[in-house]
Structure 1
Amino acid sequence: MNENLGLIWDRCLQFMRDNLNAAEDNTDLKKLENSFDLLFDKVQPISLVNNNLTLLVPSDFYKEYIEDNYLSLLSAALKKNIGKGVKLWYSVMENKPSGKEKPITMNVKGISTQQPKIQEARPVLRETDNINPFVVPGIKKVNIDSNLKADQSFDNFIEGESNKFASTVARSIAKRPGSTAFNPLFVYGGYGVGKTHLAQAIGLEVKASYPDKVVLYQSSEKFIQDFVKAAKSQNKTDFQHYYQMIDVLIIDDIQFLSGKAATQDSFFHIFDYLHQNGKQIILTSDKAPADILDTQERIISRFKWGLSAEIKSPNFETRRKIIVDKLSRDGIELTDDMLDYLASEVKTNGVRELIGVVNAVIAYSTVYKSDFSLDLLKDTINKLATTQKKTINIPYIQEIVCDYFGIQREQLLSKTRKREIALPRQLAMYFAKEYTNATFTKIGEEMGGKDHSTVMYACDTIRDVSKIDKELKKYIKDLKEKIAQ
């Protein structure tokens, strides 16, 4: 270790030690100092290049513990002794790859994401065999099914005011994956508005422009299933190494990682490795990062590193464009008044439902061998409105609430009192009373055998708290729209 670097680090440690009592109120200072020394005795600075400081830590645990408990204090010490704009990186000893590769490094959350030029680590690191069952030994690149659908390209993506910003950013990323400030790209919006299509379009464009890049689209459900299998077979390391090979990783419906702590831990390490190595990450969700419950704060923080882009429900002009595009691909032409009628009457929240209605119109015309006319369109839309009218019952409300909060029905009906489950459960009880004729007793039975007094308390609580809690008021508004749509 360079002598000057050692002196700088010693001053940083002394500054942190001197300020421990200011950082922690009502805590025994001696215990704090002992804990501090035990932790940082095993942390060693290994390089300071262009204002980039790299610390060698024994394991991921040390890195995470420092981030969670000493980040503010450490940042202040670095700014005082090195200067503003200092960037902190970690080299994790137990993650040292074999061969001549550089140590894995990790950027501190909230600080610049540009990768520094790190010198070879001088301390001897423990070598590990990174055996990956997905990779044939000696092959640098492996053929991985990208899970991309050819029809979900940019050419087939209809751009409008509701998605223009997200679409523009997506096209920029596709040209230079991993090299823009939009990493990760976090696309969010309601059901069926085109989030998956846009994410897949990026993947397809990257594959076309950069054939050597490994692109993978994965639903969060499949990601979770793979992790569980890996954990059961004690292959979690191989699971992480597999995802660390990806150049462009697309995870759909990331909100479903909510409540799954072990999967979140693995995703966190995969995310940091890819991000630090300049790989592109694309995530979709039905909620903005701040609205995702029961997810580690460090993960939510990383969602915000790049850019969050919302896709809203299509407006009239966009709906009209979608209808024209869909019909033209099926060789069908409509008059302007028919197109205007379809676009104005079919006020679905998502593109997917809109396409479904257009498909139904085509089917009615084919079955009844009728030419398209304004009367046929009106008749078809009326029939669809009648047949598709939802029955709002307790199971339906439970489904809507679970989907909105990204939880399982089993969790909703469980006895846990964790806020991330208790609040959705109270909202489900509240809406069950609002939208059905069920008694408090019946609602309690449907909600996992709860007492009628529990249901009454839940309804009263939601009504009272919503008057002063803006977040709860938003939940109620969103859920009302979803239940009634």
Structure 2
Amino acid sequence: MDQNLGLIWERCLKFMRDNLSASEHEDVKKLEHSFDLLFDRVQPVSLINHNLTLLVPSDFYKEYIEENYLSLLSAALKKNIGKGVKLWYSVMENKPQGLEKPATQNYKGISVQAPKVQEVLPTTVSKSLVNPFVVPGIKKVNIDANLNPNLSFDNFVEGESNKFACTVAKTIAKRPGATSFNPLFIHGGVGVGKTHLAHAIGLDIKQNLPDKVVLYLSSEKFIQQFVSAAKAQNKTDFGNFYQMVDVLIIDDIQFLSGKAATQDMFFHIFDHLHQNGKQIILTSDKAPADIQDIQERIVSRFKWGLSAEVKSPDFDTRKKIIVDKLHRDGIVLKDDMVDFLAGEVKSNVRELIGVINSVIAHSMISKSDLSLDLLKETINKIAANQKKTINIPYIQEVVCEYFGIQREQLLSKTRKREIALPRQLAMYFAKEYTNATFTKIGEEMGGKDHSTVMYACETIRDVSKIDKELKKYLKEIKDKIFE
């Protein structure tokens, strides 16, 4: 090895080693030891016209460097060599004697493969979640946790339906990453409080452990960011950003279904965080085993920690929610009125709060004191307005009538635009206004695959942002559905 190259490489290693990050709960010596173990087996072979070739023992080493150290290595090469360095990997071939393939290069008598080119570009530091890429180990940026301050433990109403999940959530908030509840997988139906619990954990951690980097986001946002990073060829920086987080909270993780590339990235981020004692919190409308089209290795990791179900609130819990909500609004109801409300709305917390808000609004508009008779009258009006059942067949009927087509055409396999667009719109509205899964919608739409439904929903959302005609369709069909 050229002596100058050796000195340059030593300076690069020193720069990287000096900039390894460690939180107050991490052992810096262990971090440095792991770094040394990795790079002791990596050797520079040549540096010609800003082309640096590194000799690595196996593909694993190359992939591990790319996933965990590429941005830091980029900064080191830029500092010690200059901009625009191209990094080549030569992988050793440890074949039994007599089976060696012709070598393209030789280093100390070891046969190596032809190198792959990986351009090392300057890495930018961003404080924006929209472009969440930083150089790991050099500087921990101030990351917005994206937490809703209104969704705390203080205003979470605990009952039999959520007691177990709430107890576990509070335990994790005190010692994130240090319990056996990692990951915490919260699952349950719509509007039962999963998202509230997830935010509450994050808020509690930020209050009591302010140095912890907490990040909440929806799976949809995670997918969008990954797609943008992939298009910009910044997947490594994307992974590095999420590996900086101490507490990662992802809502509605079931929407990773069918997205193989995003699942691969999530898998590597999950493994890195888990192995380094970072807390992972996930919510889903399904239990881990019931999520379709998720890699088995990811499903198995969902089960590593604890799966906690949040059920629809029972009668007593609904009463507590009503009293708590009204108390915060400065309203007091008699026991018989509370019992009536709790008995009438049984589905989920979100609908219950909606009814309470309607009752309050009716009381204010009519300038009447709340009474049991007013409650019954208000509930009857709400029931009358909701009498029309919005289900998949009804949505299909509205869409077919709007476009002047037959239901048989809507459910057919034709890809003609005059049928395909109404079909996609029907799928979109079915997902928006019913609780049906992608799989169920696909079955009701003539036996379509769930991935077809997912694609249709994404297409309508994306195109409607720029297509005025589609916006018009969405508004007019929605009005017809609810008229």
User: TM-score, length-normalised on structure 2?
Assistant: 0.60
Give secondary structure in 1 for the equivalent of 2:230.
Answer: helix
Shift in Å at residue 239 of structure 1?
A: 1.1
Matches within 5 A, 1:85-484: 92-95=64-67, 97=69, 98=72, 131=123, 133-134=125-126, 140-347=139-346, 349-389=347-387, 390-394=389-393, 396=395, 399=430, 404-406=436-438
Please report how far the alpha carbon of residue 242 of structure 1 lies from its aligned counterpart in structure 2 after TM superposition: 1.2
The 8 Å contact of residues 293 and 405 in structure 1, kept in 2 or not, is answered as: no
Q: AA paired with 2:349?
A: V
Larger Rg: 1 or 2? 2
**Structure 1 residues 352 and 344 mapped into 2: Cα distance closer, same or farther (>3 Å)?**
same
Equivalent pair of 1:132/1:242 in contact (CA under 8 Å): no
Cα RMSD (Å) of the superposition?
3.4
- Displacement of 1:415 in angstroms is 8.6
* Residues 1:345 and 1:409: Cα distance change in structure 2 (over 3 Å): closer
Check whether the contact 2:392–2:441 (CA below 8 A) recurs between aligned residues.
Answer: no
**CA separation in 2, counterparts of 1:270 and 1:415?**
35
Residue identity matched to 2:366: Y
Deviation, 1:145, is 1.3
Query: How far 1:403 moved relative to its partner?
Result: 5.5
The aligned residue for residue 29 of structure 1 is: none
Q: Which runs of 5+ in 2 are unaligned?
A: 1-36, 39-56, 74-115, 127-132, 397-426, 455-483
Corresponding residue number in structure 2 for 1:465: none
Contact 1:289 1:303 in 2 (8 A): yes
Instruction: Please give the alpha-carbon distance, in whole angstroms, between the structure 1 residues aligned to 2:378 and 2:297.
Output: 50
CA distance in 2, matches of 1:164, 1:130: 50
Separation in structure 2 between the aligned mates of residue 376 and residue 261 of structure 1, nearest angstrom: 53
What is the rounded CA distance, in whole Å, between the counterparts of 1:130 and 1:406 in structure 2?
A: 42
Q: Which residue of 2 aligns with 1:59?
A: 60
Offset at residue 243 of structure 1 (A):
1.0
- Secondary structure at the aligned position of 1:146 is classed as coil
Aligned residues: 316
The letter for the 2-side match of 1:274 is L
Partner AA of 1:377 in structure 2: L
If the length of structure 1 is used for normalisation, what is the TM-score?
A: 0.59
C-alpha separation in 2, matches of 1:248 and 1:367: 45
Relative to 1, partners in 2 of residues 1:383 and 1:132: Cα closer, same or farther, differing over 3 Å? same
- Give the share of equivalent positions with the same residue, in percent: 63
Structure 1 unaligned regions, length at least 5: 1-45, 48-55, 63-91, 100-125, 425-485
Q: 8 Å contact 1:59–1:95 — kept in the other structure?
A: no
Report the Cα distance in structure 2 between the residues aligned to 1:275 and 1:130, rounded to whole angstroms. 29
231 and 421 in structure 1: CA distance in 2 versus 1, 3 angstrom threshold: closer
Cα distance in 2 between the residues matched to 1:199 and 1:276? 21
Q: d(CA) in 1 for partners of 2:187 and 2:395?
A: 23
Q: Distance in 2 between matches of 1:256 and 1:403?
A: 14
Flag the 1:136–1:275 CA change in 2: closer, same or farther, 3 A. closer
Deviation at 1:407, TM superposition (A): 6.3
Report if the CA contact (8 A) 2:254-2:286 is conserved. yes
In structure 2, C-alpha distance between the alignment counterparts of 1:273 and 1:131, rounded to whole Å: 21
Task: After superposing the two structures, state which structure 1 stretch, 221-230 or 306-315, moved more.
Answer: 221-230
CA distances 1:21-57 after superposition (whole Å, capped 9, x unpaired): xxxxxxxxxxxxxxxxxxxxxxxxx89xxxxxxxx85
Provide the secondary structure at the position in 1 that maps to 2:154. helix
Tell me how far 1:345 sits from its aligned partner: 1.4
